[in-house]
Amino acid sequence: MTDISPRKLIIAIDGPAGAGKSTIASRLARKLGYVNLESGAMYRALALKAIEWDASFEDEVALVKLAHDARVELEPTIGGNRVLLGGRDVSARIRERDVTEAASRVSVHPKVREWMVARQREMGAGGGVVMEGRDIGTKVFPDADLKIFLDADPGVRERRRLEQQHAKGPSAESMAAELRERDQRDRTRANSPLVAAPDAVIIDSSHLAEDQVLAQVEGLVQAALAKSPVEH
């Protein structure tokens, strides 16, 4: 019997912090009935483990060992991914400032990335996924059915992040400085820096409402499905 169900796409959404990736990826996945995988949560979970085991963020060998021993699970929920580390729910903890900073540091190491990329490929191989991160379209799934690079002006991204965290005054200033520093590190690292894939559709969300971005992305999904609409 011929299977005529719609093809299950691999959708890659990359971009810097504060561009709106997580919200768009999770809303899109929900609409399509796809799984939303936040690759950044995996780097964050490893960073938390490094903090807890007192490992140096510079020690690539130790970090890879921790990664091998770590059991990181991403469970899609309506509000994003629930993240389990060794069965423990660390979803809130990994969003804290120390882990955020550490994630950007542990993710520079090629061998750490190799391990992460292999896990991410396993998770997304069957399709029906919206995976978001920094290198999904360039490295994890270079043949993704649809690649989106979601960007926004640095000032806009900072403002969004600070609003999300309800940060004000000096704490807001230092958080903004940290965001800029992290951005710079993600874009300039030697291994898989944050860059748009040549075949990615770039969406600048600086002056767009969330619903407008989602509508654009949905249009692109329909076009990708129309190219080869069914699975045989």
Q: Does 107 bind ligand DC (CB under 6 A)?
A: yes
Q: Does 44 bind ligand DC (CB under 6 A)?
A: yes
Closest to ligand DC by CB, 40 vs 124, is 40
Total number of residues binding ligand DC (CB under 6 A)? 14
Q: Does 43 bind ligand DC (CB under 6 A)?
A: yes
Q: Does 137 bind ligand DC (CB under 6 A)?
A: no
Q: Does 109 bind ligand DC (CB under 6 A)?
A: no
| Beta-bridge partner residues of 146 | 11
Distance CA 16, CA 160 (A): 12
Segment near ligand DC (CB under 6 A); pick from 62-70, 130-138, 165-173, 223-231: 130-138
In angstroms, give the least distance from the CB of 121 to ligand DC: 12
Inter-residue contact 84 to 77 (CB < 8 Å): no
Distance CA 47, CA 51 (A): 6
Dihedral sign of CA atoms 158, 164, 165, 168 in order? positive
Angular region, 157: left φ>0, alpha ψ -120 to 50, beta rest: alpha
Q: Does 57 bind ligand DC (CB under 6 A)?
A: no
Q: Does 16 bind ligand DC (CB under 6 A)?
A: no
Please state the φ and ψ torsions of residue 179, each to the nearest 5 degrees: -60, -45
Site for ligand DC in 163-222 (CB under 6 A): 182, 186
How many beta carbons lie within 10 A of that of residue 79, not counting itself? 10
In the complex, the residues that contact ligand DC under the rule CB under 6 A are 17, 39-40, 43-44, 103-104, 107, 133-136, 182, 186
